Amino acid sequence: MGRIRTCGIASQVRTLLVISALLMLSPSAGVGARPDESPLPALEVGSISDLDLEAVRQILDQSDDVGAPLVRERLGLTLEGAVKASLENNLGLQIVALELDARESDVTGARSKFHPILAIEGTAFETKRAHSDRQDEFTQNQQAQATLRQQVPTGGSVALGVGYSREFKNEYNEDLATGAGANLESMSELGGLGIEIRQPLLRGGRIFVARREILDAEYDTEISRAELRSEILNVTAGTKSAYYRVIQALRQIEVIEQALGRDAELIRASDALFEAGRVSKVDVYSAEISQSNNQARLATARADLEIAQNDLRKVIGLDAQMQVDVMDLTIPFQPLEIELDDWVARALEDRPEMARMRAKLEKAELAVRVAKNDTLPNLEARGGFQPGFDWKSWNWNAGVAFDFPIGNVGPRSRLSRFRALRAQTRREFVRQKRDIELEVRAVEIRLREGIERLKSLILQVENSRNKGEIARGRFEMGLASNLDITDADAELVRAESMLLAALVDYASNRALLEARIGGAL
């Protein structure tokens, strides 16, 4: 009995190990799986005509259909409030603004080149010469000097200073006639004012050369300022468009919900007529198919609304959990009088991109002028005057320095490089003008297209509504099936959706036109 029981326990252990191994190898036993939940059934989908629809329905019924995530925070915004919030919170706009702050700091730093520099220097030293046959000799020196040095816009420099020096000597003095000698002590002091001027006459001797760093920093600041204005225009247009898309999604849901209401009425009427024997079961199926189609459209429209909300949050710069409730639920529609030539002229004058390219071109011109100056020889004049405090003694100096590199290959190569970059910038300037004009023309084309689309879609909506009313009347009188109703209703949903999209497109293109011409209409 004991042996049989032992074998039974070993068999149970082996069985448990096999089950554990199978569970570990099972695809449903992944990381994070909850032991209290059974895995959802799986289905291999092949040919749709052979698909087991009931099996799919059962799987869908068991799925975790929780819908949209819960809203944690809500923020109601009008269109004007959304634009204001975007200009304050948009991350891309903040990045460009910080770049401008950095460029403005560069200007301040570059201008410090012409700030005076105060230098204070003091030295002291002693020299001793030891002798075995007489008294040692030594010399003591102390010097102090304060200098105020200033760079000037001509490329030179001016230095003003005051200094003091003292020298004490103990030297052996020998009488040549008698051969006798003794150590003699002497002391001298000198103090006074001083001025020194240096001025390059050829290379480096131009105002634009001396101010090159400042001018470059100012051009870079102007470029960043233009980029910020361009970003403001784009963010404003993008916010308006995103806001309109949210309104469109909300109105699209209304269109489909109204269609579902008509579907419900059609199903009730079809059932009643079928019970009365006036129509066939096909009419009931047609009404239910129309309802199913609109329910699928509703699911898509609700998803489009969430995506539009995401786009609006992104352009405004809000957290992903923030739910934006649009307060303006109407789409503005104000047809524009086409003034293409005026729009193009205004864009070429006011677009920040043109200001940016003008600054880049001026910077490239400056680089060529500086590089051309660097190819000149170096000729520098300098001089100074140092009177004593008693004005009875003085010291002055004057000089000229000249140098010129043999071949001058390096400066000439840099000049060729900057000339090529200037030519490249000029081409970019021409291309920017052309691109801006083409962008304005593209928006103008879309505006004209929008008007033509709206004319056609208005007629389409009217005809679809009239067609639906006639079809319903004929169906109620038993003169036609409800296929005419479902067909007209599908056309109505499509036409109203297209009309809604066309109105939003026109409003968005109007906002885009303001960005393309560089300001409000």
Q: Report d(CA 348, CA 436) in Å as an integer.
A: 7
Distances (CA, A) of 191 to 185, 194, 359, 391: 21, 10, 52, 10
Structure confidence by residue, pLDDT tens digits, 72-125: 788 999 999 999 999 999 999 999 999 999 999 999 999 999 999 999 999 998
The answer to whether 148 and 166 are in contact (CB under 8 A) is: no
Structure confidence by residue, pLDDT tens digits, 351-391: 999 999 999 999 999 999 999 999 999 999 998 888 777 66
Q: Report d(CA 200, CA 205) in Å as an integer.
A: 5
Q: Name the token pair of 25.
A: 């190898």
The answer to whether 244 and 508 are in contact (CB under 8 A) is: yes
Q: Is the pLDDT of residue 222 over 70?
A: yes
Structure confidence by residue, pLDDT tens digits, 135-154: 777 788 888 989 999 999 99
Structure confidence by residue, pLDDT tens digits, 426-464: 999 999 999 999 999 999 999 999 999 999 999 999 999
Average the pLDDT over 41-48 and give the result.
75
**What is the predicted pLDDT for the residue at 12?**
45
List the one residue out of 348, 355, 325, 316 whose CA is nearest residue 235.
316
Position with higher pLDDT, 308 vs 59: 308
Reported as a pLDDT band with limits 50, 70 and 90, residue 133 is: confident
Reported as a pLDDT band with limits 50, 70 and 90, residue 67 is: low
Average the pLDDT over 395-409 and give the result.
88
Which pTM does this prediction carry? 0.78
| Largest separation between any pair of C-alpha atoms in the chain | 161
Average the pLDDT over 492-504 and give the result.
95
Structure confidence by residue, pLDDT tens digits, 13-43: 344 444 444 444 444 444 444 445 566 667 7
Average the pLDDT over 145-164 and give the result.
90
Position with higher pLDDT, 343 vs 395: 343
> Phi, psi at residue 470, to the nearest 5°?
-65, -45
Per-residue 3-state assignment (H helix, E strand, C coil) for 264-333: HHHHHHHHHHHHCCCCCHHHHHHHHHHHHHHHHHHHHHHHHHHHHHHHHHHHHCCCCCEEEEECCCCCCC
Q: Report d(CA 403, CA 435) in Å as an integer.
A: 49
Position with higher pLDDT, 280 vs 350: 350
**What is the predicted pLDDT for the residue at 320?**
85
Q: Report d(CA 160, CA 147) in Å as an integer.
A: 6
**What is the predicted pLDDT for the residue at 37?**
54
Q: Look at the block and give the residue holding tokens 């906002």.
A: 511
The answer to whether 111 and 158 are in contact (CB under 8 A) is: no
Q: Is the pLDDT of residue 2 over 70?
A: no
CATH topology of domain 76-106+213-382+389-517: Outer membrane efflux proteins (OEP) (1.20.1600)
Which range has the top average pLDDT, 316-320, 335-339, 433-437?
433-437
| Burial of residue 341 (number of CB atoms within 10 Å: 0-12, 13-18, 19+) | exposed
Q: Report d(CA 418, CA 364) in Å as an integer.
A: 7
Contacts of 68 (CB under 8 A, 6+ apart): 302, 306
- Mean per-residue pLDDT over the chain, rounded: 86
List the one residue out of 135, 144, 124 whose CA is nearest residue 184.
135
Q: Is the pLDDT of residue 11 over 70?
A: no
Position with higher pLDDT, 259 vs 61: 259
Task: State percent of the chain over pLDDT 70.
Answer: 88
What one-letter code names the amino acid at 202? L
